[in-house]
Amino acid sequence: MSQTQLRTQAHAAVDYEEQASKLSLEPSVDGQDVDAPGRAVEAKFITPLDPVIETADGNRLPSVPVQEAHKINLLKNHANGQPYEPVRPRGLTRFDRQDAGVGAVDKSELLMDDKESVSSRLNEAIPVMHTHPLFPPLPLYGPPSTLRNLHCAFFRTTSAFLSTAFLAVVVLGAVFTSIPYLFKYTWLWLTFRDPAKKRPFHKEEQRRAEIRREKEKEWTSRKRKHRSRMKSDIRESITPPGPEFEPLEGGPDKLVCDIRYYARRVGLDAERFKVQTEDGFILELWHLYNLTEYRPAPDTDRQSDAPVVFTASQKDLHQHVQRQYSDSNRRYPVLLVHGLLQSAGAYCTNDDDSLAFFLCKSGYDVWLGNNRCGFVPEHSLLQYHDPRMWAWNMRQMGVMDLPAHISRVLQETGFEKLGLVCHSQGTTQTFVALAKEQRPDLGDKISVFCALAPAVYAGPLIDKMYLKFMRVISPAGFRMFFGIHSFIPLMMAMHRMLPGKLYGAMGYRVFSFLFDWTDTRWDLGLRNRLFQFSPVYVSAESMRWWLGRECFAKQRCILATREDKETEDVEDEAREESCDRAESNNSDRGKTAWYDEHVPPMALWVAGSDELVDGRRLLKRFESGREPHVNVVHSKVIDEYEHLDVIWAMDSLEQVGKEVRQVLWNTMPEDARSICRKVSGIVDDVREKDQPPNDQHQ
């Protein structure tokens, strides 16, 4: 090796140590062990635009800007005398070179200064930063330092006051807009009229309320008898052997944030798994089960594994769930993912009419995924106060959280595919993850994607004054208002401190004010329960993605710019005017497709009165031929439904749940169908699995 090469490697080694210190958990000190825990070693590219930092102890640190990831890998390879092969992103034809994003690097550009010369500046070989029109780069905070700590303290202070003031304005707005309803309600009672009489399900609400009262009395009576027997030293369970779904909890609703509590009220139970994402976040994954046929896994088997997904080393790692059932009596796995500011408990609040409990009792193996942070923010290395804990948005939830959940469910159950059911933001992260520029191979693990109130295009609500305010302020102003950590953490403090009834009532009023939701189609007796599972911790960066001036609120779409949509509108109008022209342009229209051949079959339930998102626009995209690889096996528009009605309306099982159950069965792989039990309520003589089983628009 020449002296020039040795000097180049030596310079690269020094620069590598500096870059590693910049990306490590803690700043390096002289004499520090190179294998110290938390020390950055290299960047792992989850996708070509989503690098994470691997540490010496095998842990991961969250996403960093792509050029910083290329830099540490380039310097490491040069220090070892090896060439560097950059990861090329897929699908860059959708954007020109200037707008393609930070990761849109050209190999020749990256290595243009990679020369065996002592004067070579390796950092000049890193591509310049560009602004991606849909997913702008996240900030790089680096390890703790005096300057960074002052920086964080400043934003904590300003956001504590400004975000609290913003929340106070929203709460006051909710209170003032509720005054007319309060006067109307009081007047009806004073004139001996029932305020709830005009509700569409008034009689059904009364019937269900009476059933709940009878069950409470029955539970109290059984508990009293049990205590009497205990005094006589007759040791019996509160719940003696009885029906298959005998309740294990009862009495008046405690209004708690506990999935297991509500599962036990309907004769099921739940166990909690922990899942680690590829960037080190620890997620909660709940598994529902029938106590008469399943024993929960040991606690050691439910802990998080290494930050890897879909690897051969994971095969047969636990599979405790699979071992519980015989091969002819297994349950097909179904994963449910929640919406924005919600958690998995949103699927478990309506007793037996809850979608999660309904699917479980029908015969599916139901899993409920929570996105990162949730109610208890947890990371393998980072702590709550570290801003790197909160440097994530929709992209990371799609390409890292969702695959982590799917991987663990498949690992535990032993199946090659599962059914995926998502609501609102859950559909967003899935549509993002499946895009051919992101993680399209994930589609090979999904037998069908059921999207409830799909959040792809923005609805008119995005132009409300208080939401428009977030779009008007600059990114720096947004961070000053809402910080660089969790978004308005005062909401979580209120959740912990306020009694369940008061919090439920306030939660409904505030969210109704923000998003124009009503409880018209919900069970009024359960309304306070519905809000016990929200809000959750989310990052200020993720809310900036939704409502800031750069991303969704500006583009009004998750995977296309505003200009792209305007061009599509013009082409669609031309298509309607001339069918012949449309047929001749079908191949060209497919060039702007978001998805490739890996995309799973899709089923969509659109809320027709949804002001938050525009589901009809998504259906129009699929029907227009812009997504030639997308097979829509079911679509339905429910005109009277609002955004949350698809999971909370009193008739949601009739309108949505039973159809979801059927679609999951129709699209199940044949090899899985041969070893799974027959799901109850399934119609056998439906069309083949790749055909729409009940394609309709209402």
Residues identified as active-site: 424, 610, 643
Q: How many C-beta neighbours within 10 Å does residue 13 have?
A: 15
DSSP state, 330?
B
**Other residues' Cβ atoms within 10 Å of the Cβ of residue 579:** 9
Q: Which of 403, 428, 400 is nearest to 558 (CA)?
A: 428
| Strand partners for 287 | 271, 367
3-state secondary structure of 131: coil
* Token reading at 685: 């003589």
Measured between alpha carbons, how far is residue 353 from residues 264, 359, 646 in Å? 14, 10, 12
Q: Measured between alpha carbons, how far is residue 508 from residues 221, 432, 516, 534 in Å?
A: 33, 29, 11, 10
Q: Coil, strand, or helix at residue 451?
A: strand
Contact 540, 473 (CB under 8 A): no
Tokens found for residue 508: 């409904």
Q: What is the dihedral of CA 478, 484, 485, 489, to 10 degrees?
A: -30
Q: How many CB atoms lie within 10 A of CB 407?
A: 21
Report residue 579 CA to chain centroid gap.
39
Name the region of 271 (left: φ>0; alpha: ψ -120 to 50; beta: rest): beta
In the chain, the amino acid numbered 329 is N
- Inter-residue contact 126 to 112 (CB < 8 Å): no
Measured between alpha carbons, how far is 302 from 477 in angstroms, rounded to an integer?
A: 42
CA 298/CA 320 separation, integer angstroms: 9
DSSP 325: S
* Long-range pairs, 614-617, Cβ under 8 A, ≥24: 614/457, 614/458, 614/459, 615/453, 615/454, 615/456, 615/457, 617/456, 617/457
Q: Which two tokens stand for residue 563?
A: 């200009």
d(CA 532, CA 558): 29
Chain-centroid distance, C-alpha 495 = 21
Give the separation between CA 372 and CA 382, rounded to whole angstroms. Answer: 13
- CA 26, distance to chain mean position in Å, is 30
Inter-residue contact 606 to 638 (CB < 8 Å):
yes
Handedness of CA 550, 556, 559, 562 (dihedral sign): negative
User: To the nearest 10°, the Cα dihedral for 88, 89, 93, 99?
Assistant: -110
Those residues whose C-beta lies under 8 Å from the C-beta of residue 242, and which sit 6 or more positions away, are none
Structure tokens of 227?
């205590």
